[in-house]
Amino acid sequence: MTQVKKIKPVEQTFEEPKYLKLLIENKTPVRVKLNDDSTVDGVVEYYDASFIRITRDGAPNLFLFKHEIKYLHERE
């Protein structure tokens, strides 16, 4: 009987920086859901390995640590 070697899935696809750069270039409005279930609406202005900066209308800009983000999606 032949053994089939299982391939471990890739942990990093490097698609996140491409997506965040696209959001910044297009000034796409986003909604960020945080681990505590609160939401933040705005535009991604900057990112690095640890956080993203969200610019908001009529409210202070925020630096959100990535480990505190549940998900992010584009708003209409």
Burial class (CB in 10 A: 0-12, 13-18, 19+), 18: exposed
Please write the tens of the pLDDT for every residue from 20-64. 999 999 999 999 999 999 999 999 999 999 999 999 999 999 999
CA distance 7 to 61: 43
65 with 30: CB under 8 angstroms? no
Q: Where is pLDDT greater, at 11 or 53?
A: 53
Q: Where is pLDDT greater, at 10 or 1?
A: 10
Instruction: For residues 7-16, give the mean pLDDT.
Output: 84
Q: Does CATH place domain 15-74 in 2.40.33.20?
A: no
